[in-house]
Amino acid sequence: MSVRILIVGAGPAGLAAAVSLRLQGLPVTVVDKAAAPHTHPKAIVLWPRALEIFDRLGIADRLEAAGHPLTNQHYHSNGTRVASLTFSKLRHTKYRYALAIPQHTTERILRERLGELGGSIRTHTELTALRQDAATVTTTLTDLDTGIAQEETYDWVIGADGVHSSVRTATGIAFSGQTYEQTFLLSDGPCDTELATDSAHYFMTDTGVLVMVPLPDRQWRAFISAPREIPEGEPLLDTVARVVSMRSPVPVRFLEGHTAGRFRIHRKAAEHVWRSRVFLVGDAAHAHSPAGAQGINTGVEDATSLAWRLAGVCRGSVVASDSDRVFTQWADERHQVVANVLRDTDLQTRMWGVRGLRGRLRDAVLYGAERTGLLDRVVIPRQTQIVQRFSPGPGRGRPKAVGALRSHARLPNVEISTDGAPGARLHDFLSMTEPIAIEFDPAGTPGHRTTVSRRAARGKEFDVVSLTGPALRSALGISRRVTCIVRPDGIVAAVAPHTTSTKGVSTP
Ligand SMILES: Cc1cc2nc3c(=O)[nH]c(=O)nc-3n(C[C@H](O)[C@H](O)[C@H](O)COP(=O)(O)OP(=O)(O)OC[C@H]3O[C@@H](n4cnc5c(N)ncnc54)[C@H](O)[C@@H]3O)c2cc1C
């Protein structure tokens, strides 16, 4: 295919876009201004939804092998546990835990995968200018070894170049919001402690927050809000170690080999994530507090939910006149996700900081939310990004639902045995490139059957997977034949009671 796609930035979002596009047979050029991969302590948690995406990119097994599973998240207030999240309570997913894994390991595995798919990264190459017209994007790429700047023309550009995105600035897209006043400090390294290694621990105290997260290889991430006063000349690592022992009710002693860093956090979003031939994904599109660990996860989803649409446009399976509608849908959905992430992470960050009477109120709310099951029903699915429900947009009616199948929402990845392959799950049938139709027939012959054929609906053809058998009744709560159109990103585009022509099902 002769299409030219440039991805600016080889962080997790850019790499996920590159791998996904390569898997769909598209050539990509990836540039990064860094001379070599970084090893900084950054994101450390992958949630189940990101693991589902990485599974489809063919690297979930490698990530699992390199990571450390977390099954719980405990909240303590001034030494007393007030609430816990238990990820094993998640339903309808293969991944009922969070994976602790340093960001540079995730990036290494993504880079390896890109290499296997014939892709590579032009390192030490910075995008220094960009302009676009209706047909092309003209970029200036500067080789930072030689200082030589060169104009290169692309059909599409994906800006995955982080919070200070040059693509965003050159495209004239505003990035508005605020920077929090509070500074945070962190340190990664081995610790001598009896804190449980299957859980993340949040300690909210009257002097600030401490978060302790176990990492692979018996390492820990310690993350603190900086204390108001730091003795002059105290090394950063000593400050973190001192504050950790002060705020943790369980002794924590730093052993040799810790790195330490200081950072400010933002609550900002790009006004647009798409302008004509340029897209923004990851931190280039949104920056938020690491509370709830949403950054890398949201960026990877931005990238892969764009990739199948862009590939469809490049291949011509989405006709040119329809491409605006397809990209508008992507941009609308990403804005909805980002609004939720900004709200949730802001709430968590503020929750960390309250003290006195308001702190006791927060504790009571957390305690009550756990006891009433609200954390299990609402907080866990949202934080792990397993529940995704989009609004269809003005004038497009309300989402339709039959049992657990709901339009504009993630297809529950229930386990289902088909054709003698026990353990198969619904997402195993998804296509990388095109929406498919799934017909569910709970009254069909027990034993289940999968057939693949082509079926037309509203002028479009879909591969049709037929799943039969009473197990569907309990797994999905459906008692009659139902047809769904499911997008490559696992979102149900439409759901309707089955008709042989699937006329009632509108195309995605
Ligand atoms: C201390 C810390 C802790 C965090 N913890 C978590 C966590 O637990 N969970 C979580 O999900 N997130 C966390 N995050 C956020 C997470 O690290 C980011 O969301 C993630 O790195 C964003 O990925 P990205 O690919 O969008 O951008 P980046 O990782 O920033 O990558 C951008 C890339 O673009 C390159 N680049 C920039 N400008 C140019 C240019 N002009 N030309 C060419 N290349 C360019 C850069 O060199 C870089 O490689 C944390 C962040 C920090 C700093």
Give one DSSP letter per residue of 45-62, joined into a string: EE-HHHHHHHHHTT-HHH
Q: With a 6 A CB cut-off, is 63 part of the ligand 1 pocket?
A: no
Write down the pLDDT at residue 506.
Answer: 42
SS3 of residue 238 by DSSP: helix
Could you read off the pLDDT of 158-178 as tens digits, one per residue? 999 999 999 999 999 999 999
CATH code of residue 426: 3.40.30
CATH number at residue 314: 3.50.50.60
10 and 115 part of one domain: yes
How many angstroms does the Cα of residue 293 sit away from the middle of ligand 1?
13
Check whether residue 154 and residue 278 sit in a common domain.
yes
Read off the tokens for 253. 């002693």
Q: Indicate whether 255 and 168 sit together in one domain.
A: no
**pLDDT of the residue at 446:** 59
pLDDT of residue 218: 94
**Is 439 touching ligand 1 by the criterion CB < 6 Å?**
no
Kindly state whether residues 317 and 168 are assigned to the same domain: yes
CB of 302 shorter than 6 A to ligand 1: no
Taking alpha carbons only, the member of 436, 501, 490 closest to residue 464 is 436
Confirm whether 358 is domain-assigned.
Answer: no
For ligand 1, is residue 295 a contact (CB within 6 Å)?
yes
Summarised one tens digit per residue, pLDDT across range 338-386 is 999 999 999 989 998 888 899 999 999 999 999 999 998 889 988 998 8
Last residue of a domain, which of 248, 265, 282? Answer: 265
Give the domain-ending residue among 265, 281, 296.
265
Residue 201 · residue 76 · CB < 8 Å: yes
Of 240, 265, 290, the residue at which a domain comes to its end is: 265
Ligand 1 site, residue 341, Cβ cutoff 6 A:
no
Residue closest by Cα to atom 13 of ligand 1 = 43
Return the pLDDT at 311.
96
If one counts every other C-beta atom within 10 angstroms of the C-beta of residue 174, the result is 12
Nearest CA to ligand 1 atom 20: 296
121 Cβ closer than 6 Å to some ligand 1 atom: no
Q: How far apart are the first and last CA of the chain?
A: 24
Q: Is the CB of 13 under 6 A from ligand 1?
A: yes
Same domain, yes or no, for 116 and 169? yes
Query: Which residue range(s) make up the domain with 455?
Result: 401-497
Quote the number of domains for the chain.
3
Nearest to 288 by CA among 267, 271, 262: 267
Q: Which residue positions in the chain have pLDDT lower than 70?
A: 1, 417-422, 446-459, 499-508
Query: What's the CATH number where 186 sits?
Result: 3.30.9.10
369 lies in a domain? Answer: no
- pTM of the complete model: 0.94
Residue 91 lies inside a defined structural domain of this protein: no
Residue with tokens 């923004």: 280
Q: Residue 150 corresponds to which tokens in the numbers above?
A: 């060169």
Burial 228-263 (b: 16+ CB within 10 A, else e): eeeeeeeebbebbbbbbeebbeeebebeeebebbee
Are 81 and 72 contacting, i.e. CB atoms less than 8 angstroms apart?
no
In sequence order, what DSSP letters do the residues of 276-299 get, joined into one string? TTEEE-GGGTEE--STT--HHHHH
Residue 77 domain flag: no
Q: Compute, in angstroms, the gap from residue 338 CA to the centroid of ligand 1.
A: 16
CA of 105 to the centre of ligand 1 (A): 13
Largest CA distance in the chain: 76
307 lines ligand 1 (CB under 6 A): no
Residue 448 is predicted with a pLDDT of 59
Neighbours of 135 (CB within 10 A): 9
How far apart are the C-alpha atoms of 9 and 7, rounded to whole Å?
Answer: 6
